[in-house]
Structures are given as C-alpha cells and as structure tokens.
Copies of this chain bind each other. A is one copy, B any other.
Amino acid sequence: MESTIRRIQINTQHLLSNNDCSSDIDPQYLEIKQSFDANALNKYLFPYEPELKESLTTFWKNEKFMLQPTFGLSLEQDRELTFKQFKRLMELALKHFRLVDLERNPKKIAVFTQGYRFQNTSVTTLMGVHFSLFGASIVFLGSEEQRKKYIEKVEKLEIVGCFSLTELGHGSNVQSIETIAEYDHDKEEFIINSPTVTSQKYFIGGSAKNATHTIVMAQLKVSGKMEGVHAFVAQIRNDDGTLVKGVDIRDCGVKMALNGVDNGRIMFKDLRIPRDQLLNKFGGVNKAGIYTSPINPANKRFANTIGALVLGRYIVSIGSVAFNSVGLTTAIRYSFSRKQFQGSDPKHEKQLISYSSHRKRLIPHLANTYATHFSNNYLLDLLSEKEKKEKEIHILASALKAYSSWSTRDCLQECRESCGGQGFLSENLIGNFKSETEIYTTFEGDNILLYQQVAKFMLSESRKNPPSEYQQPSNEQKQRFDKNYIRSFEFLSSALNSRLNQTIQYVTEKLSDSVSEGSAIMDAWNDNGTYIVRLGVAYTEKTILDKFIAGVMNYPDENTRNALKLLVSLYALNIIDRDNWFLKYQFISPEQSESISIQILELCKDIVPFSISLTDALGFDHEKLGPIAGDWISKNKF
C-alpha cells in the first residue's frame, strides 16, 4: 500500500506543477494516507477461512492468464477465452474446496468468491452456472447415490453442466413451466418434451456451445397424474460435441455484456432419460413406477426444491459488494488526484474530492457498501449453522439480493459518471462492470418480485406478532436539530423501525380495504404492488441498519470505530432524506429535514479523510485496478 500512496502523492505533485494555481488547493486533500489500520479492519470485515484467503491473495497476485480481459474480442474469441479461463478457475477452486462445501462450509465458497480477481466477469458466471446451479442441484436435490454418481465428474469437468429452468414464456413463475417429463413405465424412463414454442428453455447460460449436461426443471407426470416441478439430469451433447437425439439448441446471440457466456435456448423432443436421473431427494419414482415423496403437499415440495438454490442470491450479494469495492476504490482515489475547476472562477482548480457535490456522489455509496457487507456476513453465519433457519435465510437472501444488486447498479453508475470519460474506458473497469453486473437486478429472481416476497413474509409475521401502533416522536424530540441527535443511532434506528411498523399496518389496511371493496385478494395484491415493494424495502433497509450497527459497535479500535459510525449515520440519513415517508408521517419536522440534508453533506466531508483507508479495507489490490486508481499521468506518457 505504501508505494501506491506515494505514487498518488507524486501524481498530485505532477498536477500541481502543471498548473499555476497550486496555492489554492486545500492542503488537507493532498495527503492520501491511511487514517487508521486498514489491514486490521480488513481482517475484521473478512474473518472467515483466513488461510484460504491468504493463499488466494498470493495466487491472484501472480496470476496472468486468468486476468486477461476479453475487451475488444469478437463473440467467438470472447467465448473461447472465457471457457479456457473457466476451466482453469475450476482447477483452482478444487484445490480449496469441494462441491459438498456448498452445504457443509459455504464460508469457503464465500471467501473464494470474494477473493476472485475478475477482469472477465463471464468466467464467474459460467462457474456459477456449472458449480452453484448444476452442481448445487445435485448436492441439494440428489440422493446419496446420485451425489456419488455425479459429483466427482462435475468437479473434474468430465461433465460441463448448465441449468434449464427459465422458459421463453415463464421466468419468475417457475411453478407454471410447461416442459413435461412423463414417466414411461415399460422402459423405466422419463420422456422429456417441450410442448409449445413458449416452453423452450430460454437464456440458458453455457448451453449454446459448451455444456454436456443440464439440469432440466420439468413438470413430472406419472400414470397420468401431474406431480409438480422436478429436477432431472440430462445429457445434451455427445462426446463428439454433437447434440443428443431429442435435444435441439439455438444460440441466443449477443448480449449487452457477459458475452463470454454462451446463452442458448433448448427444445426437447421425446428425450429419454433413465429413471434414476430424476434428482429424488424430495420426491421420485420408485422401481414399481410409483411416485413417492417425503414432503407433502406439492407446493411445499416445490418450495424445498427451489429454496435449495438460495445460495445464488447470496453470491449476487457478495459479488455486489466486491464490484462496488472496485468502483469506489477507483473513483475515490481518482477524485484525490484529478482536479477540476471551481464554480464561478475557472482559474481555480481543486481536487474533485474537495467539491461537496462530488463527495455527495460517491461517499453515500461507500456507506451502503459497508452496510451491505455486514449483512452479508450475518447471512453467511446463518448459512453456516448446523440447524439452518430456512425461513430467515430465504427472506434475508432475497432481501439482500434485491438491495445489493440495485445498490451496485447505482453505485457503479455514479462511479462511472464521476470519473467522466475515464469511467467509460474499459481499462478502468468501472464501465464494463456496470454493464456486466446489471443483469443481477433481474436474474436469480426479479428484484420487484423479491421485495414482494419479503413483504409477504413480513405481513404473515405481523399477523402473529402485530407491530406496535405508530406514534410520532414527541414535539420536544422533533425540535432537536443538533448534530449529535441527528446522527445518533437511537434516532436512526427508531426512524427505520417506525417506518417499517407503520408500513406493515398501512399495507395491511390497504389490502383489507381493497378486499372489503370487493376485490379478489390477488387484485388487491396487484393494486397495492408499489406499496408492497416499499414494505419489502423498509424491512430490508431496517435489517441492514441493525446488522451494521451491531458489527460496527463491536470493533475494538476507537478511531476506526468512529469512522465506521460516520458511515452508519450516513447510510441511515440518506434513507430518511430520500423517502418522503418521514415528513409525511411527521416522524421528523421540516426543520429536522433541513438539518438532515446538512448533516449528510457534513458526514460526506467528515468521512473524506478516512475514505482511502475505508476503501483499502475492502481489500481490492490496487495493482489490479485501472490506471486512474493510481498514477494515471505516468501511465498516459507517450
């Protein structure tokens, strides 16, 4: 780190010497230095599997091939390089963990994901498809025999897997997919068919070129009876790469990003697969041709089947924090070294970070990123418990996936813009990562639907434990505008709690009003869709605040803790400032609203001296970042 700091200082000197107005630059901004022990904070933020973490850090420092980006390649070249890198990544992964660790030790998977140094995001997507969707299906939905049969082949890439769930006509409504697997009693086989154009498996990553096998999600039909959606393992390509009889695949073509991933669309016509290729942990057909399941009714079985795949949402959330880290580390470092002119007199140039409007663009995203990270750790702890709290995990994973993917979309956009044209250049990573990660908002569950699921959970919980009636703070409280009060965790927690509780009641009343006015419950749900989403958001932001406060207050070093506390206050105040709920329900007075706006700007300013250490603690090695994160002047020498 020392050397980079020095480089940036030199950089700043370059700029100064090239300009005749150096004396106007506020000296405090010239020092890009650690304001606390960033390494110690990094260890606190990433406490799991320290040896694995260390070993991966060393690996990535020296890795060349894997860090070759695909910028500027044709579709074919991009896919070819990506597939090679994916194979290499699988080799690396296997040195550190096995497929069953998805269930036994998800911390290893998390540390591996966090440690991955991406220049080519398509590679992790392919790995996610093969390992965390295809492989995970076998681990979570397969019997012991099925695990034995497949796992080693998956790990050694003797099988390259993809995951066929989404259909042209059905995305989120998985329960209504049209693909059918009918049991043939005579031959003890399933016959898989795509009965309509809309039933084709669509946007299936890895399927257009490379996958040899797929998990097919299909409606199981046994002796004329529909038994609901089940997962089947099917071979789709022969050893020579040709398609298996009964399988037809077309290429989805070029996408706005992630073109290393070969998305395809698949139709099945009388594809026959043996009986034992139904992953039968939650239900299967026995030798006698009878369907049996340990879980009933069918929709509970379905929930288990899909619930097993919750890890994908979690991985989106840790990925989001990692991509935010790249964007923020880059944009904040650049804002310390790049100068821009000042308001009315263009002769006076200052570093970007010294402008209040520039700080306001970046620093709140740093707060959100830290906030998300603490909740990710909490979820990882839940996932690592022997006795898993399935419901809490499902809700939190859905909430964090929605929150973090939108947060990354907005964070990288702001980082891109705040670096100007530099943010648009591929070498600085931000712009490409922006395009590549925005699919996070709609895959693994569309965010709007995820927030509705979270809200549904809250509404059902609230029937058991009704929240307390919303009460405005006292007039005395509403007359407190001082910094200490406005920034205090008591005030902030109470604000987000009150909003959550009142929103639960509000939505409950809205729904029951609609129903009593004659609407079917479904129509009531639809008519109130935007309020329901707001409830999901209110729950998520409140939960994130709770975990953020808990994580920060436990930090041993006071100086660092104080910096983190500023981030907590900024995270929550930003929410209060943006959502008119707080004024509308008079949780705050207009004078407090004014004070909050001011405190947000003050907090952004107060955090600046810590911002280099705070981004460093997120752990993204500067050498892997684009030129503008370091000495971009030297890098642009002719």
User: For residue A583, which residues in chain B have a CB less than 8 angstroms away from its CB?
Assistant: 580, 583-584, 590, 593
Kindly report which residue of chain B lies nearest to residue A347, judged by CB atoms. Answer: B176
A254 interface residue (CB < 8 Å to B): yes
Q: What is the distance, in angstroms, from A85's C-beta to the closest C-beta of chain B?
A: 18
Q: What is the distance, in angstroms, from A538's C-beta to the closest C-beta of chain B?
A: 15
User: For residue A528, which residues in chain B have a CB less than 8 angstroms away from its CB?
Assistant: 356
Contact A442-B426, Cβ < 8 Å, known A74-B74, A253-B71, A525-B342? no
User: For residue A546, which residues in chain B have a CB less than 8 angstroms away from its CB?
Assistant: none
The tally of residues in A whose CB lies under 8 Å from a CB in B reads: 109
Flag if A250 contacts B638 (CB, 8 Å): yes
A456 interface residue (CB < 8 Å to B): yes
Flag if A443 contacts B421 (CB, 8 Å): yes
**What per-residue 1/0 map shows which CB atoms of A154-190 lie under 8 Å from chain B?**
0000000000001011011111101000000000000
A27 interface residue (CB < 8 Å to B): no
Flag if B15 contacts A421 (CB, 8 Å): no
Query: With A and B bound together, what is the CA distance between A447 and B525 in angstroms?
Result: 39
Q: Which of B339, B533, B590 contacts A585 (CB 8 A)?
A: B590
**What per-residue 1/0 map shows which CB atoms of A237-262 lie under 8 Å from chain B?**
00000000000101011111101000
Contact A525-B344, Cβ < 8 Å, known A416-B438, A434-B256, A593-B580? yes
Contact A638-B267, Cβ < 8 Å, known A357-B448, A357-B529, A427-B253? yes
A33 interface residue (CB < 8 Å to B): no
Flag if B456 contacts A439 (CB, 8 Å): no
Name the residue among A176, A203, A424, A585 with the largest chain B CB count within 10 angstroms: A424
A34 interface residue (CB < 8 Å to B): no
Flag if A349 contacts B173 (CB, 8 Å): yes
Query: With A and B bound together, what is the CA distance between A456 and B532 in angstroms?
Result: 41
A435 interface residue (CB < 8 Å to B): yes
- Residues of A567-582 at the interface with B, using a CB-CB cut-off of 8 Å, are 577-578, 580
- Residues of A452-502 at the interface with B, using a CB-CB cut-off of 8 Å, are 452, 456
- Residues of A296-350 at the interface with B, using a CB-CB cut-off of 8 Å, are 339-350
Flag if A636 contacts B168 (CB, 8 Å): yes
Flag if A196 contacts B522 (CB, 8 Å): no
A381 interface residue (CB < 8 Å to B): no
A14 interface residue (CB < 8 Å to B): yes
Contact A355-B413, Cβ < 8 Å, known A14-B197, A171-B421, A265-B636? no
Flag if A355 contacts B442 (CB, 8 Å): no
Q: Which of B71, B423, B580 contacts A577 (CB 8 A)?
A: B580
User: For residue A259, which residues in chain B have a CB less than 8 angstroms away from its CB?
Assistant: 72
A420 interface residue (CB < 8 Å to B): yes
Flag if B342 contacts A420 (CB, 8 Å): no
User: For residue A253, which residues in chain B have a CB less than 8 angstroms away from its CB?
Assistant: 71-72, 425-427
Q: What is the distance, in angstroms, from A188's C-beta to the closest C-beta of chain B?
A: 29
A601 interface residue (CB < 8 Å to B): yes
**What per-residue 1/0 map shows which CB atoms of A519-551 lie under 8 Å from chain B?**
001100111111011000000000000000000
Given A254-B426, A350-B526, 19 other A-B contacts at CB below 8 A?
A18-B169, A71-B75, A72-B259, A173-B341, A174-B346, A175-B347, A197-B634, A253-B426, A255-B425, A255-B431, A256-B434, A257-B435, A343-B456, A343-B521, A343-B525, A357-B530, A417-B441, A421-B439, A583-B593
